[in-house]
Structure 1
Amino acid sequence: MADDFRRRPRRRGSALEDAILDAVVDILQECGYGELTFEAVAQRAGAGKASIYRRWTTRVELAHAAAHRILGVEAGPPDTGSLRGDLKAWIRLTADLLTGPVGQALRGAATEVLGHIASDTGRPTTLSRGWYASQIDVILERARQRGEDVVEPTDLVRSTPGTLLRFHFLAHGAPISDAVIDSIVDEVAIPLLVRSPACRHGPPTT
């Protein structure tokens, strides 16, 4: 006989949200995005579907919430003592997370959103863009405190390393090699984030 969640102690607020997001992560890990339904989440979380719909109206939003929860807990930028080392360590850590529920959420949500765009039935969303940019801010602030000459990046520059990592994952899957990470850091991130010698002294005079 299936477990009847109505017989369990009633949960509210953060306790209920934790149970729901734990269920989402478990389903993504064990079954993949294709099996992520409100019915499955409600059954595993021991919650009513109405309580889930009040918080998240689509499974894309559910996947986003679960991914942000994992990223917020597990993927703070390491402090290695240098900008290049911090970037490599952080991108490696994030790339490894893409082999699990975060990757399932990213791939599934991207596929669903692209389908909505093609049929003009939905509005595109981007998984974790703001989180990636915020991690770059932490890494750059550490670099400034060490005396490294880094730029004040635009929003586009802040989001570029994370965008490249996500694009590579969506196009090629996981695992992501160290060579790819080195390319993102050395060919893109460092040139964008480190102030060039010419810029340190202002534009040339005539």
Structure 2
Amino acid sequence: MAEAILRAAAEELATSGYAGMTMDKVARRAGTNKNAIYRRWPHRAALGVAAYKHLADTHTPAPDTGSLRDDALALLRQANATWSSPRGAILRELLAAAADEPVLLELLRDQAAGGSALNAAWFALLSRGVARGEAPPEAIHPRVASLPMTLLRGEYALRGTPAVPDEVLVEIIDEIFLPLLNGRAVPR
């Protein structure tokens, strides 16, 4: 039943947006009642974030081109394309609503810090790069893995648009991410 509820909530997010997603609509779409939803998700914000995570986790394969640079650039390009897609519009709406819903902001922060499929993809490509000798083992670190996405989010915020030019993506990987990886082996 949880899967049916998540699927129904994801469909509601896609059709009505977070503002239009209600527990009643999700219950109707899932063929259940609100009590079944509230047993697992205590409020609309928790269900909205879980539904978005369900959508996002099913669409983030880690590229495997045989090159750390090419993998990182492909994953950053994939994230950039997602941000300007209908799925990205849902995330942008959740982030906008978080300004008025502190619990929603907290849940989104927890998801970003936790083990999303995107985080796992960055760790996978770093691990492969280390195995191929393209980066030192010290490069496999949560802050290092999250850096390209943090920089990409900063670009979205500065530009105010849901897409970043490709030359900026290349710069993030070539001028910041890859030099950082190789600098991780330097003793402090």
TM range (shorter): 0.7 to 0.9
Shift, 1:77, TM fit: 1.0
Shift, 1:44, TM fit: 1.5
1:183 and 2:171 are equivalent in the alignment: yes
Q: CA contact under 8 A between 1:88 and 1:185: conserved in structure 2?
A: yes
Q: CA contact under 8 A between 1:24 and 1:63: conserved in structure 2?
A: yes
Provide the residue aligned with 1:158 in structure 2.
145
SS in 1 for 2:51: helix
SS in 1 for 2:32: coil
Partner Cα distance (1:23, 1:108) in 2: 18
Partner Cα distance (2:46, 2:134) in 1: 38
Q: CA contact under 8 A between 2:73 and 2:173: conserved in structure 1?
A: yes
Aligned-pair Cα RMSD in Å: 2.7
Deviations 1:122-166 (A, max 9, x none): 762324333243322111110012111233344333222222333
Provide the residue aligned with 1:3 in structure 2.
none
Deviations 1:57-91 (A, max 9, x none): 23322222122223322212110111111111112
Structure 1: which 5+ residue stretches go unaligned? Answer: 1-15
Provide the residue aligned with 2:112 in structure 1.
128
Q: Aligned pair in 2 of structure 1 residues 178, 74: CA closer, same or farther (>3 Å)?
A: same
Partner Cα distance (2:175, 2:164) in 1: 17
Provide the residue aligned with 2:133 in structure 1.
147
Q: CA contact under 8 A between 2:126 and 2:145: conserved in structure 1?
A: no
TM-score with structure 2 setting the length: 0.80
Structure number with the bigger relative contact order (C-alpha 8 A, sep ≥ 6) is 2
SS in 2 for 1:128: helix
* 1:1-206 equivalent positions in 2, closer than 5 A: 16-100=1-85, 102-117=87-102, 124-125=106-107, 126=109, 127-130=111-114, 131=116, 132-150=118-136, 151-169=138-156, 172-195=160-183, 199=186, 202=187
Deviations 1:168-199 (A, max 9, x none): 44562424432332233223322322337x82
Q: Aligned pair in 2 of structure 1 residues 60, 187: CA closer, same or farther (>3 Å)?
A: farther
Partner Cα distance (1:98, 1:123) in 2: 18
Partner Cα distance (2:14, 2:7) in 1: 11
Q: Aligned pair in 2 of structure 1 residues 180, 22: CA closer, same or farther (>3 Å)?
A: farther
Q: CA contact under 8 A between 1:149 and 1:195: conserved in structure 2?
A: no
The farther-off stretch of 66-75 and 98-107 is 98-107
Partner Cα distance (1:51, 1:108) in 2: 26
Higher radius of gyration, 1 or 2 = 1
TM-score with structure 1 setting the length: 0.74
Residue correspondences, number: 182
Shift, 1:27, TM fit: 2.0
Partner Cα distance (2:175, 2:45) in 1: 32
Q: Aligned pair in 2 of structure 1 residues 122, 90: CA closer, same or farther (>3 Å)?
A: closer
Q: CA contact under 8 A between 2:45 and 2:104: conserved in structure 1?
A: no
Partner Cα distance (2:68, 2:101) in 1: 39
